[in-house]
Amino acid sequence: MTTGSSTPGRGHCGRFRPLGVSRREMLSSCLSGFGAVAASALIGDRAFGGSDSVGDVRSGIPHHPARARNVIFLYMDGGPSQMDTFDPKPRLSAEHGEPFAMQVERTQFNNNGNTFGGPWAFAPGGSCGTPVSDLFPHVRQLADELLVVRSMTSRFSEHTNANYFLHTGAGLAGRPSMGAWTSYGLGSASQDLPAFMVVNGGLIPPGGMECFGSGFLPASTQGSILLPHGDGIANVGSRETDAGAQRRKRGLLASLDEEFAEAVGRDDAVESAIRNWELAYGMQTSVPELMDLSGETPETLALYGVDSTYVPTATYARQCLLARRLVERGVRFIELTCPGTGNDRWDQHNGLIKGHEQNARAVDQPIAALLTDLRRRGLLDETLVVWAGEFGRTPFAQGSDGRDHNPFGFSIWMAGGGVRGGTIYGATDEYGYKAVDRPVEIHDLHATMLHLLGVDHKRLVHRFGGRDMRLTDVHGHVIRDWIA
């Protein structure tokens, strides 16, 4: 790992005064740049946890050889229908319009109609033949990259709880997001970008920013919002109207800060703050550079659909392209939120056909392009791509033409980053209602994601409120069958 350009030749770590050995070991092991700053925030928290377990845990990372360095989480807000995407159910179509044959659990709206056969045809994709519906023709071509999990379950059937659960492993706000845990555990490989970035297509999920929050972890681990247009990051654009003003200000500030740092005995907090200001200056350059797509070839732009006439596709294309650029820059965890299509996310309580078609249209081509582009640049093997909503949808109708929330069994997929592509894991019943073969919990997904990153989910802990907290709480199993 290289060191920051503003302190050529040495990492930040060496300047910490002796404050306790384990933490120093953790710091000097790998961190620099942004990661060092995150770590310095931790230094400030030292011993407030009541023990030194945190440092010991982090110093051991990776706990085992990592299969992935980065995660791109394609969050499908609102809950896509499994029966209409990756889990074909012929019997559902056969019994379309008939009373639903299984016992129905209470749903959010409890306005349950008859069996609702999927409106879309399925076809096998790739050489593996994994069936994918006509909603995802582009992704279907890459079926050999996909590990489709058809037996995912959630514990919540309401968006906000389920979103918190999917993102943080708990159904209420206040826990750190999986991106925050990743950033906490691994630090950043980037000099001038945060370790956890959320490329916001427009739809912040129900539950708000807490879905990307750091909870009780240091604030430096929280997701930073990047917009796929304009400046990208808040306050990253200099407001100086006079070109010399920033140089002038920076010069005076540096001299005042240097004297202050000296006057306070080169205190860590002050030194870190000075370094953060340097990083902030750096981001004024690095973020515009990140956002500038002019260096991408016309072929690449077309592959993603950046100029698509369908605006949500163009937006998501920029998000996916930015995700690749963020991976290239060492950002650990990148989450993409959905662009609005005017259909209330994937949450089709009614108007399933129009809503799902438009939502799929927005993301299908960009996602396929992202997988293709990562593959051809040699980045897919070290980047874990996860596609998931907070729950699935019911195989019976809500009203006449919608589907209600269904946490009992739904599909997600993963690609790259050490997962076994071209395979299908688990199954729902004949109607796609409930997971029956090898049901999987969100905790298992989290445990396996961390595992692929070289982290033992049971050992990535942070003491808070009297407990050693984990992303997986007291749950979670690594699913070995998912790993190539």
30-49 binders of another protein (CB under 8 A): 34, 37-38, 40-41, 44-49
- DSSP-derived secondary structure letter, 124: E
d(CA 46, CA 23): 8
Q: How many angstroms separate the CA atoms of 269 and 282, rounded?
A: 20
Which residues fall within 8 angstroms of residue 245, CB to CB, at 6 or more apart? none
Determine the Cα angle at 378 with ends 447 and 327, to 5°.
60
| Shortest distance (Å) from residue 427 CB to another protein | 26
Omega before 312 within 30 of 0, i.e. cis: no
Stretch of 56-64, 65-73, 245-253, 310-318 contacting another protein, by CB under 8 A: 245-253
Q: Smallest distance, Å, CB 86 to another protein? A: 26
Cβ at position 378, least distance to another protein in Å: 30
Q: Using CB under 8 A, which of 9, 65, 103, 106 touches another protein?
A: 106
Nearest approach in angstroms of CB 411 to another protein is 22
HSE value, Cβ hemisphere, 13 Å, CA-based, for 456:
9
Give the list of residues 6+ apart from residue 474 with CB closer than 8 angstroms, or none: none
Applying CB under 8 A, which part among 17-25, 135-143, 304-312, 359-367 lies near another protein? 17-25
Residues between 52 and 71 with contacts to another protein, criterion CB under 8 A = none
Q: Which of 79, 113, 117, 213 binds another protein (CB under 8 A)?
A: 213
| Closer CB to another protein, 37 or 323, in the complex | 37
Quote the least distance from Cβ 437 to another protein, whole Å.
Answer: 26
Q: Which of 232, 196, 200 is nearest to 217 (CA)?
A: 196
Closest CB to another protein among residues 240, 307: 240
255 binds another protein (CB under 8 A): yes
Cβ–Cβ < 8 Å for 404, 398: yes
Count of residues engaged in binding another protein, rule: CB under 8 A? 89
Binding mask 326-345 for another protein (x = CB under 8 A): --------------------
Candidates 121, 123, 252, 353: give the one binding another protein (CB under 8 A): 252
Please identify which residue in 2, 5, 110, 400 interacts with another protein, judged by CB under 8 A.
110
- Whose CA is closest to 392, among 404, 379, 381, 380? 404
Binder among 25, 52, 134, 257 for another protein (CB under 8 A): 257
Residue from the set 64, 248, 376, 377 that interacts with another protein by CB under 8 A:
248
The continuous run of DSSP H or E covering 139 comes out as: helix 137-140
Q: Which residues contact 378 (CB under 8 A, 6 or more apart)?
A: none
Q: Does 17 participate in binding another protein (rule CB under 8 A)?
A: yes
Cα torsion at 403, 408, 411, 416 (round to 10°)? 150
Nearer to another protein, 233 or 435 (CB): 233
Nearer Cβ to another protein (64/247): 247
Residue 136 CB contacts under 8 Å (≥ 6 apart), including other chains: 85, 360, 364
Among 2, 237, 307, 353, binds another protein (CB under 8 A): 237
DSSP-based helix, strand, coil % in the chain, nearest 5: 40, 15, 45
Segment 270-309, which members bind another protein (CB under 8 A)? Answer: 270, 272-274, 276-281, 283-284
Q: Give counts: helices (H), strands (E), the chain.
A: 13, 18
- Selected from 199, 227, 369, 412, the binder of another protein by CB under 8 A is 227
Q: What does the per-residue mask of binding to another protein show for 422-461, with x meaning CB under 8 A?
A: ----------------------------------------
- Work out how close the CB of 151 gets to another protein at its nearest, in angstroms, rounded to a whole number: 22
- In this structure, the strands spanning 333-336 and 122-125 are unpaired
In the numeric block, the tokens 């796929």 are attached to: 228
Shortest reach from residue 267's CB to another protein, in Å:
5
Look at residue 195 and give its three-state secondary structure: coil
For another protein, which residue of 66, 104, 209, 484 counts as binding (CB under 8 A)?
209
**CB closer to another protein out of 261 and 302:** 261
311 binds another protein per the rule CB under 8 A: no
According to CB under 8 A, which residues from 389 to 418 bind another protein? none
Give the span between the Cα atoms of 390 and 161, in whole angstroms: 9
Distance CA 203, CA 411 (A): 21
Binds another protein by CB under 8 A, chosen from 15, 463, 475, 477: 463
**Which 149-188 positions form the footprint of another protein (CB under 8 A)?**
157-161, 171-174
Q: How many CB atoms lie within 10 A of CB 437?
A: 12
* Residue selected from 230, 295, 298, 378 as contacting another protein according to rule CB under 8 A: 230
| Beta carbons of 421 and 146 less than 8 angstroms apart | yes
Kind of pairing between the strands at 427-428 and 224-226: unpaired
